[in-house]
């Protein structure tokens, strides 16, 4: 995802929307991006080592949880459809 941002193919606002969409409805796993790319946000969170503990904790603020989801998304590798 970082490569898409660097090349200007994905805007930061789109990443923020992905975070919002996942927070609002975590059961919706896949999200369509640009250029026929799809991202499985749940899989991205599983691949990010800290995400499980952060999202499961009641002691962590919603801001930190949003940041964790955003980081997992940025580190993810979307797949072509």
Strand partners, 80: 37
> Looking at residue 43, what is its pLDDT?
94
Q: How far is CA 4 from the centre of its chain?
A: 14
Q: How many helices (H) and strands (E) does the chain have?
A: 5, 3
Residue 44 CA from chain centroid, whole number: 7
What mean pLDDT is reported for the chain? 91
Q: What's the pLDDT score for residue 9?
A: 85
Q: Which of 18, 17, 24, 7 is nearest to 76 (CA)?
A: 18
Residue 34 has pLDDT above 80, yes or no: no
Q: How far apart are CA 67 and CA 79, in angstroms?
A: 22
Number of neighbours of residue 37 by Cβ within 10 angstroms: 17
- Asked if the model's pLDDT at residue 59 lies above 80, the reply is yes
Give the tokens for residue 63. Answer: 């801001």
**pTM across the whole model:** 0.87
């Amino acid at each position: 995802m970082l490569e898409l941002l660097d090349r200007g193919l994905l805007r930061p606002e789109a990443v923020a929307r992905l975070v919002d969409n996942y927070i609002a409805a975590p059961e919706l796993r896949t999200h369509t991006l640009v250029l026929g790319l799809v991202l499985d946000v749940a899989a991205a969170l599983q691949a990010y080592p800290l995400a499980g503990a952060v999202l499961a904790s009641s002691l962590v603020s919603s801001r930190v949880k949003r940041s964790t989801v955003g980081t997992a998304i940025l580190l993810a590798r979307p797949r072509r459809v």
